[in-house]
Amino acid sequence: MAAKKKKRIASSLQSTKSKTYNMDSSSSTIPSNCHAIEEKHDIEHISNVSSITESMLNSGRTFHHVQNSAYWFPNDDQEMDRLIGQHFALKTFFGGNIQPHILKEVDMECGSTSVLDLGCGPGTWIMDVATEYPSVEFIGVDMCDVFPTNIRPPNVSFQVGNVLERLPFADNSFDIVNTRLFIIALKREEWSTLIKEAYRILKPGGFLQMVECGMLERGNDFIRHAETIESIGQDPYIAFKLDQLVKEQNLELVHFENKDVYLGKSDPLSKEFLWDVFSIFKTAQNLIQQPLNCTAETFPLFLDKLYKELQKQPDAIWSFSKCVGKK
């Protein structure tokens, strides 16, 4: 799906570390992806990652091997490409990387300001923001070291960490903690742990910014039938509960909004999200194949039908929420 184009975007943000994987291919007739936005970054510096996390191979894709994590997406280059495209779609969708309420109160020109991107993945969000605010210190943390090891802005560093095992930072360390799309990383009972830990490491007056997606709960019967996340202990409706979760953990609710993506629209941004949804289902084959009564042979046919049904009436809608809490 527009492999050359995605790789071009990835190469501007990721390391040149070489990996080889046996990527699954199908006979799917899905059109190539059209990225909603491409941005050029002047990024140069060398970083050192002190820990190498273990991965396991499954059906030609590599996955993390962290025992206490519910995260079920791969951690290979193909997945990193998807996350990079998703980042720029979300940036366009919400009109920026940091909510304006935060920017009014946090001095992003101050050298003592620090920002943590929790669950940073390939580091796309943090490196994008770091180029906008070169005076601020940015730290990205993920349980897998899929972040860049060679190319990054000089005000960015990365390290391995797991929010469920307490993060390696002192209390009152950060002005902003950013989290995004933990819906497939946490079980229902683990959300309070995430927010409590964010509260602990935030400075007094600091902000927690959370962006989460909902499920495809609106659309035709085929689209609604395709949802399976609830069966594995994760909450498909967590995006609509963030405001309450933030208040329950003693954070002041500063901002909460829900926005819908109409996947059948023909504009570039909608097509970007359409590609993202399709890629998510394709990636999740091992998990959702059985609940959907598919086999390895019939799953490509399911994907073809999914792509077509996502663009039919009634509109298939993918919802997103942004929530900001203040300590």
Residue 78: per-residue pLDDT: 76
Q: Are 214 and 318 in contact (CB under 8 A)?
A: yes
307-325 in b/e burial notation, b at 16+ Cβ within 10 A? Answer: bebbbeeebbbbbbbbbbb
* Identity of residue 79: E
Q: Is residue 248 part of a domain?
A: yes
SS3 183: coil
Q: Is residue 270 part of a domain?
A: no
Beta bridge partners of 213: 320
Instruction: Write the CATH number for 58.
Output: 3.40.50.150
Q: Is residue 300 part of a domain?
A: no
Q: Is residue 291 part of a domain?
A: no
Mean pLDDT per 10-residue segment, the chain (327 residues): 39 34 39 42 33 50 51 67 91 97 97 96 94 97 84 92 93 98 90 97 98 86 66 82 96 97 96 94 85 91 95 94 98
Residue 198: per-residue pLDDT: 97
Q: Is residue 31 part of a domain?
A: no
Paired sense of beta strands 317-326 and 252-262, if any: antiparallel
d(CA 274, CA 280): 10
* Contacts of residue 248, Cβ cutoff 8 Å, sequence gap at least 6: 192, 195
d(CA 171, CA 176): 13
Residue 83: per-residue pLDDT: 84
Q: Is residue 22 part of a domain?
A: no
Residue 73: per-residue pLDDT: 66
Residue 240: per-residue pLDDT: 95
**pTM of the entire predicted model:** 0.78
Structural domain containing residue 82? 3-11+42-261+320-326
Up-side HSE of residue 79: CA atoms within 13 Å toward CB? 22
Q: Is residue 280 part of a domain?
A: no
Count how many domains the chain has. Answer: 1
Q: Is residue 94 part of a domain?
A: yes
* Helices marked H in 39-152: 77-94, 100-105, 124-132
* Helices marked H in 34-99: 77-94
